[in-house]
Amino acid sequence: MPNKVCMHCLVSGKVQGVWFRANTREKARQLGLTGWVKNLPEGRVEVLACGSQENIKQLYQWLHRGPALARVHEVSYEELPWQEHADFVVA
């Protein structure tokens, strides 16, 4: 699929208990992306998002800020082959 990619990110910092997942879902849906976001037991947030390269880039940049109460320290990035997802959900 040309121009369609997926990214896998791990977001660390103060990212749980600050509406990070709900806000990530809202931003991803605004950008027309599909995939999921979930909390990890050690305190990070994991994101898998699929869509156009431009919109993936916008979500990646947003993940560095997150919602108002978040304090993001680091965002890892890995590009993955295209995957089909019906929606963007909190997993």
Enumerate the active-site residues.
21, 39
- Which tokens in the block code for residue 37? 């976001």
Tokens 């997942």 correspond to 21
**27: helix, strand or coil:** helix
Of 12, 55, 13, give the one whose Cα is nearest residue 33: 55
Of 74, 71, 91, give the one whose Cα is nearest residue 17: 71
Quick one: DSSP state of residue 42?
T
